Structure 1
Amino acid sequence: MKWLAYILIVAGISIMFYPKAHSMFYSYQEKQLLDDWSASTSIPKDQIQQSYQQLNDVFSRERKSIENKDAKTSQTSMIGKLTINKINLTIPIMEGASQQNLKIAAGHLKGTSAIGEAGNAAIAAHRSYTYGKQFNRLPEVEPGDLIQIETTKKILTYQVTKKLLVEPSDLSVLRNNMNESNVTLITCHPMKNPTHRYIVKAALYKEEVL
């Protein structure tokens, strides 16, 4: 019967370490995107609304078991990286706020302005249960703090202007002002069973061409 005891011990250890392994896997994928990337218009309102409301499912869906196909992302999918020194965060940005993209990166909402262009570029990310990961610490960001986004062509520095807590149906946070360049960061609130969206808005402060 010793073999049964050994099996039970191994099973217990596996269950205990699974959440940590799960978190480490996605952290690795996030870092790979950043490392690989370093080496190297007007859209109808209904499309913006569809993209924004898609977050309801993305934010509320339970995290599923890791599958190999989930890890199949490419450097070409990454459009930039976002850094907030205030909360020690650097995260890849991918085009589209899909469930797959948000497992390892932040996602630019399709239908919103291009990052760095006039208008309002919306970027969404999960709030990870691991401290300091994804937008976990976004509520610590305050007006006046700086957000940096690096694309293949520019380094854009934004200054936070406000933070909000809104209903998931509130599209006003995506409103465009074509006279300036803004970025809107979006995540869920609270972390478990989210009922609202936590929003941080920032305006372009400085632009550097690479």
Structure 2
Amino acid sequence: MKKAFPLFIIAAGLLLIGYGVWKVVDTNQKTAEALEEAKLAAGHPKTQKNKEKDAQKASFKPKAGEAVGVLEIPKINAELPIVEGTDADDLEKGVGHYKESYYPNENGQIVLSGHRDTVFRRTGELKKGDQLKILLPYGSFQYKIEKMKIVDKNDTSIITLQHKKEELILTTCYPFSYIGNAPKRYIIYGKRI
């Protein structure tokens, strides 16, 4: 009995490690698939005529779980799919767009969330002044990081859904190296340029 217990612990540990590796590989695969879908959805905004862009904006009504565009973060060489929704399944595919928030050109708060250990793994490297770019079927939109802050995970004051000025907000869990459910959130604010 005493000899079997250490073997049981080792086997359980190997199973946990195997599950963790499988989750990382699965999430990376889903993100890669969503990125391809997002690139197709975003098309080539620079080559479209204004009338086409206006028509696409008017008909832009993404469904939950749908890859709708791309978030580019040049400083960290990131090209991330934007997926409609922030449910667990949505966040496995990429950066989730908070359903009730706005999109570019809607003059409101745009809220994008992602996991700190997948799509937003390197967001801690970003600094004030760095640029962010959103590519959607109806255009390309650039933002400059204005500030960052860390808040408690239960702080709901970040998402105001204000409709007075366009503002990009990226959210992820914090600390970045924390194992388990992180106690804080890392918030990045971007201003349209």
What TM-score does the superposition give when structure 2 sets the normalisation length? Answer: 0.71
Q: Which residue of 1 aligns with 2:130?
A: 145
Q: Which residue of 1 aligns with 2:169?
A: 184
Cα shift at 1:114: 2.4
Q: Is the 8 A contact 1:122 1:184 kept in 2?
A: yes
Q: Which residue of 2 aligns with 1:193?
A: 181
Cα shift at 1:142: 0.8
Residue 83 of structure 2 is aligned with which of 87, 94, 98? 94
The alignment partner of 1:175 has SS state of coil
Q: Which residue of 2 aligns with 1:29?
A: 30
* Distance (Å, rounded) in 2 between the aligned partners of 1:20 and 1:179: 44
The alignment partner of 1:159 has SS state of strand
After superposition, give the CA deviation of every residue in 1:55-106 in whole Å (9 maximum; x if it has no partner): xxxxxxxxxxxxxxxxxxx997112111111122111111110011111211
* Distance (Å, rounded) in 2 between the aligned partners of 1:76 and 1:198: 24
Cα shift at 1:168: 2.5
Q: Say whether 1:202 aligns with 2:190.
A: yes
After superposition, give the CA deviation of every residue in 1:31-66 in whole Å (9 maximum; x if it has no partner): 1122133235xxxxxxxxxxxxxxxxxxxxxxxxxx
Gaps of 5+ in 1: 1-11, 41-73, 206-210
* Distance (Å, rounded) in 2 between the aligned partners of 1:78 and 1:21: 23
* Distance (Å, rounded) in 2 between the aligned partners of 1:19 and 1:177: 38
Identity value in percent:
25
Q: Say whether 1:38 aligns with 2:23.
A: no
Residue 103 of structure 1 is aligned with which of 67, 85, 92? 92
The alignment partner of 2:37 has SS state of helix
Cα shift at 1:157: 0.6
The alignment partner of 1:103 has SS state of helix
Q: Say whether 1:122 aligns with 2:88.
A: no
The alignment partner of 1:117 has SS state of coil
Q: Is the 8 A contact 2:39 2:69 kept in 1?
A: no
Pick closer, same or farther for the CA change 1:109–1:176 going to 2, 3 Å: closer
Letter in structure 2 aligned against 1:153: Y
Cα shift at 1:176: 5.2
Pick closer, same or farther for the CA change 1:25–1:144 going to 2, 3 Å: same
Q: For this pair of structures, how many residues does the alignment match?
A: 159
